[in-house]
């Protein structure tokens, strides 16, 4: 009989804020914890490596030609992830050695777009250590647009993971009906939603997507507290003065295809919670609703998705 289950770990952790290499070390530590508990997939929050730009809304981030904002942005770029330079190679090696698939949020410094702008990217690494997709967030939310660039459809892909077809989105783009539809159309039945933190983001939409897609939904958020701001950062004292005591309190959770909680939102502390997902529940719930299958009308409405990686130039040598 074919295996119908998948063991998933949700790693709700804080970064070593704005320190790429130290945060990668933390991610590896929690990957090993997940592997020791028999997980086949572990998921981390949005922009975790090297961290979410919490300073923007607290330090007059929209002020034009601000020396403060320029300095912080420079540091952010310097600490971002360049996949082509091997910044995720250590994570890939641990994934391979432990047969552990990973979804992790990074701030990507993309050479194919000049190497100076940042993308909130959701990276999927398979159990063989290979990068399956890099999804750049389609539209940064509100103040994020001051430090993040707009992504494209290249990463709107699903991946075979045990009995499941897994795909995912970053934070508020989970609210985009057409982005979800692009994943449903590829057979997605395990949806991964990653967030910087806070239960207010995860408690409603996690169950809604589960009911809409008749799929398991894994929502993973991070933590960030004033005490997580290290002395080594530029303007560290100012960043602490303007920070809230808690800026991200977690809220990670898992909903079943019935819209019920498998793991209810959990806040306030770092944790690794583990659950076993049973694909048979997907098949049962698709009996009455399959939004890309028997309950769709492609003769009436269709979605066009451009998955080309966007660039400002095309060279012929």
Domain ranges of the chain: 5-285
Residue 81: DSSP 8-state: B
**pTM of this prediction?**
0.97
Secondary-structure breakdown of the chain: helix, strand, coil percentages, each rounded to the nearest 5: 30, 25, 40
Q: Which two tokens stand for residue 161?
A: 């993971």
What integer pLDDT is reported at residue 214 of this predicted model? 98
Q: Which two tokens stand for residue 271?
A: 């944790």
User: Can you name the CATH fold of 5-285?
Assistant: Nitrilase/N-carbamoyl-D-aminoacid amidohydrolase (3.60.110)
What integer pLDDT is reported at residue 264 of this predicted model? 98
What integer pLDDT is reported at residue 240 of this predicted model? 97
What integer pLDDT is reported at residue 237 of this predicted model? 96
What integer pLDDT is reported at residue 41 of this predicted model? 99
Question: Nearest 5°: phi and psi at 98?
Answer: -115, 10
Place of tokens 């770092």: 270
Write out residues in the chain with pLDDT < 50, as ranges: none
Q: Which two tokens stand for residue 243?
A: 């920070």
Q: Residue 290 to residues 104, 208, 293, 294: CA-CA distances in angstroms?
A: 28, 15, 5, 6
What integer pLDDT is reported at residue 298 of this predicted model? 97
What integer pLDDT is reported at residue 174 of this predicted model? 98
Catalytic position from the list 39, 40, 144, 171: 171
Q: Strand 216-221 relative to strand 190-195: parallel, antiparallel, unpaired? A: parallel
Has 253 been annotated as catalytic? no
What integer pLDDT is reported at residue 77 of this predicted model? 98
Catalytic position from the list 108, 137, 215, 253: 137
What integer pLDDT is reported at residue 157 of this predicted model? 98
Catalytic position from the list 39, 40, 46, 188: 46
Has 33 been annotated as catalytic? no
Has 160 been annotated as catalytic? no
Q: 131: burial class by Cβ within 10 Å (0-12, 13-18, 19+)?
A: middle
């Amino acid at each position: 009989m074919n295996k119908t289950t998948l063991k998933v770990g949700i790693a709700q952790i804080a970064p070593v804020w704005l320190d790429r290499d130290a945060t990668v070390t933390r991610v590896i530590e929690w990957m090993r914890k997940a592997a020791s508990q028999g997980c086949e997939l572990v998921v981390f929050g949005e922009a975790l490596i090297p961290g979410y730009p919490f300073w923007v809304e607290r330090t007059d981030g929209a002020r034009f030609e601000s020396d403060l904002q320029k300095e912080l942005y420079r540091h952010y770029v310097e600490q971002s992830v360049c996949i082509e330079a091997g910044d995720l190679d250590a994570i890939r090696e641990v994934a391979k050695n432990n047969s552990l698939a990973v979804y992790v949020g990074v701030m990507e410094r993309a050479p194919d777009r000049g190497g100076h702008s940042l993308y909130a990217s959701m990276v999927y690494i398979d159990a063989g250590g290979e990068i399956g997709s890099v999804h750049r967030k389609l539209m940064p939310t509100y103040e994020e647009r001051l430090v993040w660039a707009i992504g494209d459809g290249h990463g709107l892909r699903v991946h075979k993971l045990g009995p499941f077809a897994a795909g995912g989105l970053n934070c508020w783009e989970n609210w985009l009906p057409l982005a979800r539809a692009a994943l449903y159309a590829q057979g997605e039945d395990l949806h991964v939603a990653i967030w910087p933190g806070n239960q207010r983001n995860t408690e409603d939409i996690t169950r809604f997507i589960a009911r809409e897609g008749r799929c398991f939904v894994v929502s993973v958020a991070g933590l960030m507290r004033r005490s997580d701001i290290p002395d080594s950062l530029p303007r560290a004292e100012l960043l602490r003065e303007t920070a809230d005591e808690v800026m991200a309190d977690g809220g990670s959770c898992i909903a079943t295809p019935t819209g019920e909680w498998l793991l209810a939102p959990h806040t306030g502390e770092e944790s690794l919670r583990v659950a076993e997902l049973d694909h048979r529940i997907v098949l049962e719930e698709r009996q009455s609703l399959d939004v890309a299958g028997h309950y769709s009308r492609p003769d009436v409405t269709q979605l066009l998705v451009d998955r080309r990686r966007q660039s400002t130039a095309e060279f012929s040598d």
